[in-house]
Amino acid sequence: MTTTTPAADRGAFLRNTALYVARIIREALPAAHTMTVNTSDQTLHEVRDQAGNVLWFAPASGAHALDEHLEEIEGLLGRAIPLGGLTAAGWERTPEGTMFRTVQLPPPARHARAYVRHAGLVADVHADLHPAEHASFTLDGPDGPMREARDRVRAAIVNSGYDLPHGALTVACHGTGNPGSSGDLAIAAAILAAAGHINPRALKRTLLISELGLDGQLRDPRVDLRYADICGGYRRLIVAVPAAPADAAYPLIRGGSVHAAIDLRQALDVLAQPLT
């Protein structure tokens, strides 16, 4: 059993907080490069681009997209600063007076999103790969860490001949429930897309529903696929090889196509093909 020290847990919390704050800011301000924080009252003071131009300043700059996220950002800062603050998270810092500190936002993450749909489940898989000195891989679902799925996916990727991406890899499943093993293929595809093995755009309008064996083989997750396209708009479904031909076994995607794959590599080959 792997154990961690309080110092390591604190460092991981601070790094993850830093990455998440940067992601929130960049969603509203894609050109954001630095932020200035008032460390006395633990509030966001200013955001600038790489050239030093002010993109946002406090008090709120009016009807700005970032304003609606201020409460969340400052709540995170309020929890992080007393634990060692921004420098403990590895952020570069330059002093600006006694209270104000300017930190450079971490480099943008590479992001990919995959989709799992079947009876009783609507789930999206988000994979974010951030530059980091040490490799890490966390996988969380609506109910907390998905350790068994993480181990299956990790082994399937490596045994299929791919390298796990170097950096801080965070994968999260959001939706109506925990996808369990039916989300393995979507998780692996999102990771490999974030790592650059396939174009993240290849995952759009595609459903990925399969368990993964440790050897990378696709397995039937034994879920009801009749409602896979319940949300509509999907053009492609990739599943494990069934006993009958794919289209006969799974007549599920109206106006689209169904593909049965043997293993992870074959599934990625299908994803590389343009949608018809």
pLDDT digits (tens, 9 = 90+) for 159-207: 999 988 888 899 999 888 888 899 999 999 999 999 999 999 999 999 9
Q: In the prediction, which pLDDT does 270 show?
A: 95
Nearest to 29 by CA among 61, 74, 75, 71: 61
Q: In the prediction, which pLDDT does 151 show?
A: 95
Q: In the prediction, which pLDDT does 1 show?
A: 40
Q: If you compute the radius of gyration of the chain from its CA atoms, what whole number of angstroms results? A: 21
Model confidence pLDDT, tens digit, residues 212-259: 999 999 998 888 776 666 556 788 889 888 755 555 555 556 667 888
Q: How confident is the model over 68-81, as a mean pLDDT?
A: 85
Burial class of residue 28, CB neighbours in 10 A (0-12, 13-18, 19+): middle
Q: In the prediction, which pLDDT does 21 show?
A: 84
Tell me the C-alpha distance between 113 and 204, whole Å.
8
Tell me the C-alpha distance between 155 and 99, whole Å.
48
Global pTM? 0.66
Taking a C-beta distance cutoff of 8 angstroms, is the pair 93, 103 a contact?
yes
Structure tokens at 21: 């704050």
Taking a C-beta distance cutoff of 8 angstroms, is the pair 202, 216 a contact?
no
pLDDT, mean over the chain: 82
Q: In the prediction, which pLDDT does 26 show?
A: 87
| Domains of the chain, residue spans | 6-104, 110-272
Q: What percent of the chain is modeled with pLDDT above 70?
A: 80
Q: In the prediction, which pLDDT does 176 show?
A: 84
Chosen CATH of 110-272 out of 3.40.50.300, 3.30.360.10, 3.40.50.150, 3.30.230.10: 3.30.230.10
Sheet holding 100-104, edge to edge: 54-57, 43-49, 32-38, 100-104, 93-96
